[in-house]
A = this chain, B = another copy of it.
Amino acid sequence: MELILAKQAGFCFGVKRATHLAFEAADKGGETYTLGPIIHSPQVVQRLEEMGVKPLDDVNDLESGTIIIRSHGVAADELQAAIRRKLEIVDATCPFVKKAQEHVASLSRAGYDVVVVGDADHPEVQGIVSYATGRVYVVGSGEQARQLPRMSKIGVVAQTTQSFDNLQDVVTACLSKGGEIRVYHTICDATAVRQAEAKALSGQADCMIVIGGFNSANTKRLAEVCSELLPHRTHHIETACQIEPAWFDGVEKVGITAGASTPKWLIDDVIDRVREIERQIDSDKIR
């Protein structure tokens, strides 16, 4: 059985940085907390908890210690509260998300009404939106953008994982809504590149394994992309123990990819497990 691991499987730049900063803080010891899950990987969150890093819902519950800001960023007032409480802050916000937050703040200051292209329920978007000091709207599509009121100056910023097509649709809709439109292209192409590679891999493989948190939007999307070509042979798992030997009946090529929040150790575990199942199948054949 041939195993093909996607080149872009696993940690993106921002998640790698955030995880590194979190484990570094954990190594130092002391009272250490993360504001929300550091990344969308329950296994990484659990490992950090085992090292004494506790997740926290509200920064106001904390009197002292170190607070790690998750990769998706937090709301402006939460960061301010941490500063006011003189907590030690480890800011693991993805630098691309940080840029989007800064653009929203400067657009607001310059008198623009801000349109954020993204998913209103996503913590990254909730964080970005909080940096607006004037009017701000979240739209998920061009269709939603066409419902916006007329504005004189419109600033557009995108959630970093949005598709470029969606940004284009929203900008096109905004062009007929105002006299000036200022767009910051805040999309990180890691997501698009990972999806394109997964799609290509699905075209070659007989079976796809997609590894990543069940709470991770980008991993779910990755599994959807693979399912388009391999509807019954795409398996979204969090850990190696969820793999079933029956998936490999008659399979010659297995493709493996992983979401942006999936650590290397989970990917290695999956590869080891698939190899183990393969050996089992082979020895069954000999017997």
Which residues of A line the B interface, CB within 8 A? 164, 167-168, 171-172, 175-176, 178-185
- Which residues from chain B contact A185 at a C-beta distance below 8 Å? 175, 178-181
Residues of B within 8 A of A171 (CB): 171-172, 175, 181
**Are A181 and B180 also in contact (CB < 8 A) when A172-B171, A172-B172, A175-B167 are?**
no
Ordered by A's residue number, 9 sampled pairs between the chains whose C-beta atoms are within 8 Å are A164-B175, A164-B176, A168-B172, A168-B175, A171-B171, A175-B183, A180-B182, A181-B182, A181-B185
> A192 to chain B: closest CB distance in Å?
12
Contact among B167, B179, B184 with A184 in the assembled complex (CB-CB below 8 Å): B179
Of chain B, the residue at the smallest CB distance from A103 is B180
Assembled-state Cα–Cα distance A176/B167 (Å): 11
A175 to B169, CA, bound (A): 11
- Which residues in B have their C-beta under 8 angstroms from that of A184? 179-180
Query: How far, in whole Å, are A184 and B152 apart by their CA atoms in the complex?
Result: 11
- CB-CB nearest in chain B for A172: B168
A181 to B171, CA, bound (A): 10
Question: In the complex, A181→B181 CA distance in Å?
Answer: 8
List chain B residues, Cβ under 8 A from A175: 164, 167-168, 171, 183, 185
